[in-house]
Amino acid sequence: MTYKGYTAKLIYSEEDSCFVGRVLGIRHIIGFHGDSVEELRQAFEESIDFYLSTEPAPEKPFSGKFVVRISSECHAEAARLAEAAGKSLNQFVDDAIRRAIEEVKGRKVKTSPTLNVFVVKAEPVREGTTSGNTQFVQSTSSARSLKEANQRWLNKGKSLSLIKRRQRPSSIIMD
């Protein structure tokens, strides 16, 4: 599901008997849910609109640029191989990442131990205003990270309210 350049990962939650979505590609964690595809789409669009209207500097999903720190030897070897292949270093790295993605996609996914999932709602501290049904999900193995997230939101003039806590499996890629 895509809206205004943001993409969401969607799953059906047996536990909650509804569809659940999470926006991918940004550091902010934005989640939403709905009982039907139409409700899910509406909640997704409302979440993105709310994010864009309230976040002073909203992240753009995947600009195509990122900084990678590698050893100088690896950098030099990649530059030599790129030049020998008649490619720019950027194109060489892009090709290598694409091959790695295809390799990872071919591997099986196995579940690892559970993570605690805290579903929280960000609400403005000012009286008389609400944030609608937008939910922000904080996945953590301890409540300490949730307290830290709450402090970050307080600094933005919003407070987090805990809606529910549940455990869910996290996924890892196995050979």
Query: Would you state the pLDDT for residue 47?
Result: 93
- Residue 34 contacts residue 40 (beta carbons within 8 Å): yes
pLDDT, position 156: 67
What is the Cα–Cα distance from 132 to 122, expressed in whole angstroms? Answer: 9
pLDDT attached to residue 174: 40
Mean pLDDT of 41-51: 94
- In the numeric block, the tokens 């720190």 are attached to 69
- The string of DSSP letters for 112-151 reads EEEEEEEEEEEEESSTT---TT-BEEEEESSHHHHHHHHH
Backbone angles phi, psi at 86, to 5 degrees: 75, 30
Q: Two tokens at 118?
A: 């805290």
Q: What confidence tier does 158 reach under pLDDT thresholds 50, 70, 90? A: low
pLDDT of the residue at 121: 54
Q: How confident is the model at residue 62 (pLDDT cuts 50, 70, 90)?
A: confident
| pLDDT for 6 beyond 60 | yes
Question: Is 112's pLDDT higher than 50?
Answer: no
pTM recorded for the entire structure: 0.43
d(CA 169, CA 114): 4
Is residue 8 helix, strand or coil?
strand
**Mean pLDDT within 49-54:** 93
> At residue 149, what are phi and psi to the nearest 5 degrees?
-65, -40
Q: Which stretch, 51-60, 107-116, 129-138, has highest mean pLDDT? A: 51-60
Specify the pLDDT at position 65: 83
